[in-house]
Amino acid sequence: MKKELKLNYNQLNHWEELSDADQVLVQKAKGVMSNAYTPYSKFKVGAAVLLSNNTVVTGSNQENIAYPSGLCAERVALFYAGANYPNEKVKTLCIVAKGNLVSVETTLSPCGACRQVMLETEIRQDEPYRVILVCQNDVTIIFSSASDFLPLAFGL
Ligand SMILES: [Zn+2]
């Protein structure tokens, strides 16, 4: 029996088409992106997490010469949220990036490890959260659940 997995998302031509509140998240993610430490990949990523108490926490990718020791922006932000606001739910995760690692037209997308963390964050809080991806060409993709990034996930 052949089956099919479907993925639903919304796409905008530019992040400035987002709501004012979401644009603030994009701006915060872009702001923290400049703090990325990326001497190896030269690929800077910023992440902003809106929590249920309206606090926004941010993260940028931090690399290390021992490559696996570095950490992606999404996980820096989500782990900071978990460490400092353990009782708040993630409402929105916004991710931006800049660099030549991928072409400007390439859809920005979290790595596999981040997808697993994003999903478990959602499972822990028992409530889906939105994920906003702002590509380098400003095309913006909005998902309504972190689970969209990891169908048939391990541990479910
Ligand atoms: Zn990652």
User: Tens of pLDDT along 38-73?
Assistant: 999 999 999 999 999 999 999 999 999 999 999 999
Cα of 129 from ligand 1 centre, angstroms? 18
Q: Token pair of 74, please?
A: 């999404």
Query: Strand 140-143 relative to strand 44-51: parallel, antiparallel, unpaired?
Result: unpaired
Residue among 53, 46, 10, 36 at smallest CA distance from 142: 10
Q: Are 73 and 36 a contacting pair, CB within 8 Å? A: yes
Question: Would you tell me the crossing angle of helices 73-84 and 112-125 to the nearest 10 degrees?
Answer: 30
d(C-alpha 88, C-alpha 137), whole Å:
32
What is this structure's pTM? 0.95
Q: Using a CB cutoff of 8 Å and minimum separation of 24, what contacts does 85-88 make? A: 85/51, 85/53, 85/55, 85/57, 88/51, 88/52, 88/53, 88/55
Ligand 1 centroid – CA 77 distance (Å): 11
Q: Fold for 14-149, please state it.
A: Cytidine Deaminase; domain 2 (3.40.140)
pLDDT at 156 exceeding the cut of 70: no
Spacing, Cα 94 to ligand 1 middle (Å): 13
The distance in angstroms from the start CA to the end CA of the chain is 22
- The C-alpha atoms of residue 149 and residue 115 are separated, in whole angstroms, by 6
Q: How far is the CA of 135 from the centre of ligand 1 (A)?
A: 15
Residue 153 predicted with pLDDT over 90: no
Number of neighbours of residue 18 by Cβ within 10 angstroms: 18
The domain ranges of the chain are 14-149
- pLDDT for the residue 106: 86
What is the DSSP secondary structure assignment for residue 99, as one 8-state letter?
S
Q: What residues act catalytically?
A: 74
